[in-house]
Amino acid sequence: MNQNTTYTDDNIRTLEGVEHIRRRPGMYIGRLGDGKSPGDGIYVLLKEIIDNSIDEFSAGFGKEIRIVIEDGNVSVRDYGRGIPLDSVIKAVSILNTGGKFDDKAFKKSVGLNGVGTKAVNALSSEFYVCSYRDKMCSWARFEKGQLMDSGKESSSEKDGTLVKFTPDSLMFGEYAFNPEYVTAMVKNYSYLKKGLSLNFNGTVFKSENGLLDLVRENLSEEPLYPPIHLEGEDIEIVMSHCNAYGENISSFVNGQNTRDGGTHLAAFREAVAKTLKEFFKKNYEPSDCRQGLVGAISIQIQEPNFEGQTKTKLGSTYMWEKQYQDEKGVLRTDVGPTIRTYINDFVARNLDNYLHMHKEIVQNIEDKIKASQQEREEISSIQKKTRERNKKTSVFNPKLRDCRYHYNDKINDKNQDFVEGSSIFITEGDSASGTITKARNSNFQAVFSLRGKPINCYKESRKRVAENEELNLLISALGVEDDLEGLRYNNIIVATDADDDGMHIRMLVLTFFLKYYPDLIRRGHVHILQTPLFRVQNKKENIYCYSSEEKEKAVSQLKNGVEITRFKGLGEISAPEFVHFIGPDMRLDEVKISDEESIAEILEFYMGDNTADRQHFTCRNLRSEEQLEDISI
């Protein structure tokens, strides 16, 4: 510590309102990003504004929302009640201010913390809001959260609110909205709000059957029976089974897509298994009851508690919770039923009734459960033998160089970053695995070494995969033998060489995850490690390049005395160099599948017998060795 550093009252600062948002955007929108990923901050900004319009519809006001995005500029117009005219500036610029703190006006809304629109305002280079009410309008214009102009005047517009904003390029860089991501968001809103019309750049989305439309449209595999559709006052459920592995259940709270689940999804999964066991009067394993389960659940609750400002995981325990002062002035709390109890009771009553009324589907469901049970028991026996064999050698997993902290560890807050960043690199060969092992941070980075190419799982049974020692050891290392809740690493990173063999190994590993553990991909756990293809250096500087374009730019930058190295394998990169490529700036490509994509069709294309089609695709989309080795200056 510098002994000359002074610490006085001048060092103490209070960040006012929007200044704090601009200094710490991650606290409010999760992350920044340039729009290439659906989780990037510009989509959170859009969602925050649309959420307010959705809440108006939910409260019974306005049946249309118009969304326009052109050249990075966003416009959202609803036809609800409009913001009270004298509160327009406060509502969009002062933290912890908003109508949603008063549940008389908004009973079951998404944004309840008075932050959302303020974050959009603060993180936009330009922000404009206009509220139309009773033939009057009140408007305000901001720049980076600072009020520039405002006014009130008469208007002939219909009641409602218009918001226009341009995300600040100083915060988001050269961003661009991906129309596919926005369309997916808007379509979800239409499924969850029957009768609401959402117009995005001229295309109208409207659903007449709610979640049933969502599930029908997104079913990528043929269901074993027509989807079951159950509706209650504050709950809607759709479910079926298919012959795929894993579970694919979308979840929503008050119209918000909770892609990371939460208490409502956990309760639904428990309730389905419990109800099926009781209906068949057999003690089936819950995992067997849910194998191949597809569907969606949406609930409406008062004052939901989401984990994080991005609202992707529900943390609430109760359907509603209120504090009040009794006649003696004592602060008391009233709570409604727990979410778990509410969902369990609803599913137990309604799913049981449905099965008794639709006996034609009962046999299909039980056949699926029994098939899952038989396969699980066979696999469990194989895995038990493997564990016993490893015990005799006193080696937990000979292919694994483990780390100290894991994703499923319960640890104190100071080590939380290790848990969230816990990763396992799946690589091939002693050279590459040795390099990564030496370069890694052993607190939270593990290495699993493959020996050559793993088997092609596409046409193999689950039992045959379990009999393969290498893949069995991988399953054990990941901790997913019984349930994904035992997952030991947040990031599963496939790290292979950038050549034909490396690409093939990558596809074989991804085939394994796609077929047997698709939920790991759906939950965002599986990634591809990007490593540099070239090192461009002179006597003073090294530049690592991930493409031929970056290489050419580096050559121009360094100019004289340039030496270029082409890395053909991970093992050619020294451990001291590799530290830079798996550190804080590690480049990862997340492996993604959308709900409507058919895993069976993907696997058939990449790993099936259509050799000519696949070769044509590869030639069009992968860089050739000749291109990569063209390093002339």
Query: For the domain that residue 23 is a member of, what is the CATH number?
Result: 3.30.565.10
At 596 the three-state DSSP class reads coil
Residue 3 CA to residue 24 CA, distance in Å, equals 29
Query: With contact defined as beta carbons under 8 Å apart, do 490 and 480 qualify?
Result: no
Same domain, 226 and 192: no
The reported pLDDT for the residue numbered 627 is 45
pLDDT digits (tens, 9 = 90+) for 226-241: 999 999 988 999 999 9
Helix 599-607 vs helix 500-516: crossing angle, to nearest 10: 150
Q: How distant is the alpha carbon of residue 215 from its chain centre? A: 19
Which tens digits make up the pLDDT trace of 92-128? Answer: 887 644 444 344 433 444 444 445 788 898 899 999 9
Phi, psi at residue 263, to the nearest 5°?
A: -65, -35
182 near 43, Cβ under 8 Å? yes
527: β partners: 493, 590
Q: Which of 143, 173, 205 is the last residue of a domain?
A: 205
- Give the per-residue pLDDT at 223: 92
* pLDDT number for residue 411: 52
| Same domain for 404 and 519 | yes
Rounded to 5 degrees, what are φ and ψ at 352?
-60, -45
pLDDT at 551 over 70: yes
Contact 293, 214 (CB under 8 A): no
DSSP SS3 for 238: strand
Check whether 277 has a pLDDT greater than 70: yes
Q: Do 302 and 436 fall into the same domain?
A: no
> Percentage of the chain surpassing pLDDT 90?
34
Please check whether residues 233 and 277 belong to one and the same domain.
yes
State how far the alpha carbon of 16 is from the alpha carbons of 21, 48, 122, 159, in Å. 9, 21, 11, 32
Where residue 272 sits, what CATH number does that domain have?
3.30.230.10
Tell me which of 267 and 331 has the higher pLDDT. Answer: 267
d(CA 404, CA 397) in angstroms, rounded, equals 15
Q: State the chain's mean pLDDT as an integer.
A: 82
Top pLDDT among 416 and 448 is at 448
Q: Is residue 386 part of a domain?
A: no
What pLDDT is attached to residue 280? 96
338 lies in the same domain as 418? no
H or E stretch including 367? helix 362-392
Establish if 548 belongs to a structural domain.
no
Q: Are 98 and 91 in contact (CB under 8 A)?
A: yes
Q: CA 155 to CA 153: how far, in whole Å?
A: 7
Per-residue confidence (pLDDT) for residue 616, from 0 to 100: 62
pLDDT at position 177 over 60: yes
Beta-bridged to residue 400, according to DSSP, are 448
Q: What is the pLDDT of residue 278?
A: 96
The answer to whether position 384 is within a domain reads no
| Of 205, 223, 238, the domain-final residue | 205
Same domain (yes/no): 30, 79: yes
pLDDT at 244: 81
Cβ contact 406:395 at 8 Å: no
Q: Which of 205, 227, 242 is the last residue of a domain?
A: 205
Q: Are 117 and 171 members of one domain? A: yes
Using 50, 70 and 90 to split pLDDT, how confident is the model at 171? confident
pLDDT attached to residue 130? 95
Edge-first strand order for the sheet with 423-428 is 400-401, 445-450, 423-428, 491-494, 526-530, 587-590
Q: Are residues 336 and 410 in the same domain?
A: no
605 pLDDT band, cuts 50/70/90, is: low
- Return the minimum-mean-pLDDT range out of 54-58, 79-83, 495-499: 495-499
**Could you tell me if 449 and 590 lie in one domain?**
yes
CATH number for the domain including 521?
Answer: 3.40.50.670
Same domain for 136 and 270, yes or no, is no
381 φ/ψ angles, rounded to the nearest 5 degrees: -65, -40
CB neighbour class for 237 (10 Å; exposed up to 12, middle 13-18, buried from 19): buried
**Is 111 part of any domain?**
yes
Q: What is the pTM of this model?
A: 0.71
**Boundaries of domain holding 519:** 395-531+567-628
In terms of DSSP bridges, do strands 197-200 and 445-450 run parallel, antiparallel, or are they unpaired?
A: unpaired
Does residue 402 belong to any structural domain of this protein? yes
- Same domain for 179 and 221? no
Please report whether residue 542 resides in a domain. no
Note the pLDDT of residue 462: 77
Examine residue 478 and state whether it is found in any structural domain, yes or no. yes
Q: Is residue 9 in some structural domain?
A: no
- Conformational region of residue 447, where left means phi above 0, alpha means psi within -120 to 50, and beta covers everything else: beta
As given in the structure block, the two tokens for residue 168 are 């600040």
pLDDT of 1 > 70? The answer is: no
pLDDT band, very low/low/confident/very high, at 224 (cuts 50, 70, 90): very high
Chain segment 344-377, per-residue pLDDT in tens = 999 999 999 999 999 999 999 999 999 999 988 8
The confidence score (pLDDT) of residue 595 equals 61
Structural domains counted in the chain: 3
Higher per-residue pLDDT: 454 or 564:
564
Does 215 lie in the same domain as 200? no
